[in-house]
Amino acid sequence: MAKIAYQLRPPETTTMSPCKLCGSSSPGGQACSDCLCLQLEALIRNKGAVVRWTKSVKAAAEDEALILKYAQRARK
């Protein structure tokens, strides 16, 4: 789950390279979030739980990026 959360960060916060498994764009060139989510779904046999959790983690990462953007503006 930690690896998935890392992969869900906004692309502008890291270097992007091809996913080791599918070739799509991925932070750090590691397995992308989609590939990792498929592995987690197979492991726990519950796609719905993985989809809900992934959405919430992605929303939190986007919210963090937005808040940091506004904080940076406030410093100027």
Which tens digits make up the pLDDT trace of 9-56? 777 777 889 999 999 999 888 999 999 999 999 999 999 999 999 999
pLDDT at 54: 95
Please name which of 14, 9, 3 lies closest in space to residue 60, comparing C-alpha atoms.
Answer: 9
* pTM score: 0.79
What is the rounded distance in angstroms from the CA atom of residue 75 to the CA atom of residue 7?
Answer: 28
3 within 8 A of 30, measured Cβ to Cβ? yes
